[in-house]
Chains A and B, each alone.
Chain A
């Protein structure tokens, strides 16, 4: 998993959901939902951010806790999408 993807997502979360307060930054495995960091509006913001910032397309069935509940999952999901995109281009 790319550490830069994680870092970029973490910065986005701190800036947009935690008012820039780095002391509140969640750990990689901390649930963004259970800790009330992200709500329905936040999910939409996260989807828009990943699509625009990383240039990936996210299908509706992919917007689930398995991909969005914490920073590690978000980064793994994003990296997987990026790898898939590169593989598709190479072939």
Chain B
């Protein structure tokens, strides 16, 4: 009879094959790099908790047909320690012919020992399933923001999603963008003019792994519900986050006040003429706008076509005046048997997504050649 059981090292090659077929739509033998990474991230994740583990669905014939990758996360709510579990990779082979596997995996996950269950990458089907299990979809954490910087380059990149040949037209985009960006129109959603930044920008600097970890802890401490990372776990997560070649080169910077004290940080990945991806923006209260401006100016200076990322309620107000577009692509969802634990997420008092999620892993934007 089919069963749900904890992931074992021997299952990982099958899970890796399914990852390529189901999620990346690239059939074929998975690379040893992917197998190694899945083993590391799901069998020995930072914050390892022997009771909060990844699960597989195994058919009668012993083959693995479903998987839910779980990453534990220690949280604290006003000094109350909590255990959270993040549902990361969630996939089922032939889910239409075997709808039991996905249902059992999710039900088993939500019945785990954790106080809070989270996901930040639920697609439409998963979102509906979480809802049926009384999960709360967090609209303020579930929007994808987009800021266009160079509109012609952005259009070419959008077309390149259908065919990479579109990039052959890139040289044509430059004069158009140069012309459009001459207009220092602060109200323009269609482009970002270098003149908009002027001399209002706060100073910034690249940061190394240690400083990134320190700033993550420092700025997330403003949230009543926040991660309680162990030092070695956060350090490991920062190392994981270094490489996202599918998104581009890493840009990790702090933003400081004129007196030199840090007021925020940002982490994004992107290359010239491409659409960059931000996975974390953190700011001291009242400095959100300045940090966002610094990030956009940096992306502009590096020649990016646009920048996108996931919303955080703490940043939404500052984004409203800065001509961001918002769309929904994947959902951030919370589930807790004690419904009072959902309240901080509903009210935007929880630090969630990014490093309090799964975006720091190489599964998002990574390459495993």
Residue positions of A touching B, CB distance < 8 A: 33, 36, 38-45, 47-48, 60-61, 63-65, 68
Contact = CB atoms under 8 A, between A and B. Distances in A.
Contacts of A38: 99
Contact of B129 (A44, A60, A63, A65): A44
Interface of B: 1-4, 92, 95-97, 99-104, 106-108, 111, 125, 128-129, 132-133
A40 B107 contact: no
Contacts of A41: 103, 125, 128-129, 132
A33 B107 CA distance: 19
B122 to A, nearest CB: 12
A63 B103 contact: yes
Nearest to B111: A60
B60 to A, nearest CB: 10
A61 B100 contact: no
A43 B98 CA distance: 11
Contacts of B108: 60
Contacts of A42: 99
Given A39-B95, A39-B96, A40-B102, 12 more contacts: A33-B97, A33-B99, A36-B96, A40-B103, A40-B106, A40-B129, A43-B103, A44-B103, A44-B107, A47-B107, A48-B132, A48-B133
B103 to A, nearest CB: 4
B107 A63 contact: yes
Contacts, number: 53
B132 A45 contact: yes
A40 B1 contact: no
Which 6 pairs across A and B sit closest by C-beta, in order of nearness?
A43-B103, A40-B102, A40-B99, A44-B132, A40-B103, A39-B99
18 contacts: A39-B99, A40-B95, A40-B100, A40-B102, A40-B106, A41-B125, A41-B129, A43-B99, A43-B103, A44-B132, A45-B132, A48-B133, A60-B107, A60-B111, A63-B100, A64-B2, A64-B100, A68-B100
Contacts of A60: 4, 104, 107-108, 111
B125 A40 contact: yes
Contacts of B92: 40
A17 B97 CA distance: 17
| Most chain B CB atoms below 10 A, which of A44, A47, A48, A63 | A44
A43 B111 CA distance: 16
Contacts of A63: 100, 103-104, 107
Nearest to B131: A41
Contacts of B100: 40, 43, 63-65, 68
Nearest to A34: B97
Nearest to A43: B103
Nearest to B106: A44
A63 B1 CA distance: 11
A31 to B, nearest CB: 11
A35 to B, nearest CB: 12
A64 B1 contact: yes
A87 to B, nearest CB: 24
Contacts of A39: 95-96, 99
A56 to B, nearest CB: 15
A33 B94 CA distance: 12
A48 B135 CA distance: 14
